[in-house]
Amino acid sequence: MANPKPHLFSLSFLSLLLLPHFPTVSLAQTLFVFGDGLYDAGNKQFVSSNRVDASFPPYGMTVGEPTGRWSDGRIVPDYLASFMGVPHIPPILNGTADFSHGANFAIADATVLGSPPETLTFSQQVIKFSDNKNKWSAQARSEAVYLFYIGSDDYLKFAKNNPNPSDDQKQAFVDRVITAIEAELKVIYGTGGRKFALQNLAPLGCLPAVKQANGNVQECVKLPSEMAELHNKKLLQLLVELSRQLSGFQYSFYDFFSSIKHRVIKSKTYTFETGMAACCGTGSVNGTSCSTNNVCSKPEDYLFFDGKHLTQEGNLQVGHLMWGADPVVVGPNNLRELLFLPLNTTVMLADIQEAMAAMSPKQNKIESLYDIKMMESEMENQWLYQVGKAVSFLI
């Protein structure tokens, strides 16, 4: 494996400072993953009757072999599992895997709506989780982190089939997607899930495959990115509402959209040689047909490995941001903080103030935006404002 580039990243210490106040806190040792190809750890190869490119070189080239992941190496859930101190989470369709620390239900081409072939919709992934929930104890399910990235293919298909939609049509479609996501999150909550980590959608019009298909590779395609923005706004609103409605519902919301947008525009600032073209593929920005005949020699110089998925280096940066960035990027808790939150968050304000008083001025400025009682509406609304003008966090 190639040596990763050196990184610096911000970690918040609020949860550690508050830990003495919660003698029953138990860090999650279980991770459940739902989503599409960005999170797929190998499920696609178990359902497809056709060749699955991710199961063949050059996929996996940085780690020495293809693993069914749509990247040159590790993906975001792999890094988050490592940060949690547990093994990489195996695909649920691998019947011989060890699922003691969770399962990965994500699969390439997954959607929220519809019923595409040779994949699992979001609803089908949740059904698969429900069918297998007895593999884990009720305590493990309640302490687990539930990780999600889903919806990209819904909006890419919508934009392709509706090149000039009205504002009402756009909003109506987003509402359908969000309503379906809400129903599935409530199913997981009903099985005992309490800690939810969501990565919002990328600027879909900036994907090399989308730009190349549009014919203008110098600019991101407007409609797919606009649909992603509408979705992201509604998704955050949904999480705030669920945290008010459902007792013990806790969440982490990562602004993936801004992270990718900034890395496309200013790639060298974030250690990449380019955020425009993919490492592997054909066409003006290598947007399609990744194979051993058309792959770069240094994937770590690229943000995208193929036309739709990140390189291992890109995934590593995203993993660090989700794990430990400040509230401008991820909130109301980053994933590291989410692990420390007790399942029943009843904290005296004096405890929070005492912990914050022990911080340095810089830490206090960052953390004063979010305390452990983030479910209170005033603090939630403050974070909505912060996300609305978010800027990318430099690792």
Is 309 annotated in the active site?
A: yes
Tokens (6 digits) for 334: 């980053």
Which of 90, 191, 189 minimizes the C-alpha distance to 131? 191
Contact 22, 342 (CB under 8 A): yes
Which of 231, 262, 309, 320 does the annotation list as catalytic?
A: 309
- 3-class SS shares of the chain: helix, strand, coil, % to 5: 45, 10, 45
The dihedrals phi and psi of 149, each to the nearest 5 degrees, come to: -150, 110
Residues 21-58 as b/e (b if ≥16 CB within 10 A, e otherwise) read ebeebeebbbbbbbbbbbbbbbbbbeebeeebbbbeeb
- Rounded to an integer, what distance in angstroms lies between the CA atom of residue 40 and that of residue 200? 16
- Rounded to an integer, what distance in angstroms lies between the CA atom of residue 109 and that of residue 352? 44
Beta bridge partners of 145: 31, 195
Tokens (6 digits) for 67: 């693993």
- Rounded to an integer, what distance in angstroms lies between the CA atom of residue 336 and that of residue 324? 6
3-state secondary structure of 206: helix
> What is the distance between the terminal CA atoms of the chain, rounded to a whole angstrom?
21
Provide the annotated active-site residues: 309
